[in-house]
Amino acid sequence: MQTAKDQLSFCGREFSTEEVSLIQEVVETCAGLSRLELAHTVCELLDWKRPGGGLKARECRDLLERLERQGVLTLPDKKLGGSSKARKLIAPVGDGQVHSTLTGSVEEFAPLDVQIVESRQQRQLFKVLVSRYHYLGYAMPYGARLQYLIYVSRPRREVVGCVQFSSPAWRMKVRDQWIGWDDVTRKLRLQHIVNNSRLLVVARIRNLASMALSGALKRLRADWRRQYGVEPWLVETLVDREQFHGGCYRAANFIVVGETSGRGRMDCNHRRHGAQIKTVLVYPLVKDATRWLRDGV
């Protein structure tokens, strides 16, 4: 039987003990993901790519199935249909643009209507707005994810914002220190953290960002539990300190816990240390969230 302590060679690549352990961790903590989504996630974490930059998702899925046959891990049941294509990145277009001509204070447009993205039309609208107006552009996250469109109803119904939640960072020093857990506990309960990976407003309405975020947070626990069978207890987000102050997060009662090392949430090989340092903020969805994450319910 293969164990995490053994060296592994597959498709011309040698996998270290640490990398095999990380693969096991991904499979164990990402409940509800398909085999393809797991393969994409592992490829990103291990930077396993083709010469042209595409992820080696097909090879990685074969690797995961081999490890399952050897008793190293247990994969979810195979799903019918779906696509094996790698995600498509769409570059943002310009700076400072807005989609809506609405202006004023958010109180003039309240209450906001927060709608979960479900239909093909909604997914396309979300994709187009984020690709055009978010400074990072659009990239479909691998792993668990929920997306919301934010609407106003007057003077006419239209979209004024987008909010996306996705899988958390595997390790983040200041977050993990704030929670106070060790590696074993983190592996057990990491799935109870959700990352706010996109927040976008497309109208010059004062305080719209914080109210849109608060509206999505009110829905998140129930929607995430219904979608993935796991209840989130904490939301994390990272704000580029060179570009943003993060005032909308503070207004929505997020807590600043520190700054990243600059490696990035996928940089498991320490290639980008010291670059793009970001402020880490968290939002407890339950009372005593740190205790729940350390000790369980």
Q: What percent of the chain has pLDDT over 70?
A: 85
- Please determine, for residue 32, whether its predicted confidence score (pLDDT) is greater than 80: no
Measured between alpha carbons, how far is 291 from 44 in angstroms, rounded to an integer? 31
Read off the pTM: 0.71
Residues ≥6 apart with Cβ < 8 Å to 42: 22, 23, 26, 48, 60, 64
Interval 129-146 mean pLDDT:
82
So what's the pLDDT on residue 97? 55
So what's the pLDDT on residue 232? 96
- Please determine, for residue 11, whether its predicted confidence score (pLDDT) is greater than 60: yes
For 257-287, write each residue's pLDDT tens digit. Answer: 999 876 554 444 444 444 578 999 999 999 9
- Please determine, for residue 105, whether its predicted confidence score (pLDDT) is greater than 80: yes
Q: What percent of the chain has pLDDT over 90?
A: 49
Consecutive H or E run containing 133: helix 120-133
Which range has the worst mean pLDDT, 4-13, 18-27, 47-56?
A: 4-13
- Please determine, for residue 10, whether its predicted confidence score (pLDDT) is greater than 60: yes
So what's the pLDDT on residue 128? 87
Residues ≥6 apart with Cβ < 8 Å to 99: 129, 132, 133, 159, 160, 202, 203
On whether the CB atoms of residues 115 and 148 are closer than 8 A, the answer is yes
Residues ≥6 apart with Cβ < 8 Å to 47: 266, 268, 269
Interval 25-38 mean pLDDT:
80
For 139-167, write each residue's pLDDT tens digit. Answer: 777 678 999 999 999 898 999 999 999 98
Tell me the pLDDT of the chain averaged across its residues: 84
CA within 13 Å, CB half, 94: 6
Which has more pLDDT, 74 or 97? 74
Q: What angle do CA 161, 162, 164 make, to 5 degrees?
A: 155
Measured between alpha carbons, how far is 264 from 277 in angstroms, rounded to an integer? 8
End-to-end CA gap in the chain? 34
So what's the pLDDT on residue 242? 74
Q: Enter the tokens of residue 126.
A: 């979300």
Interval 197-225 mean pLDDT:
95
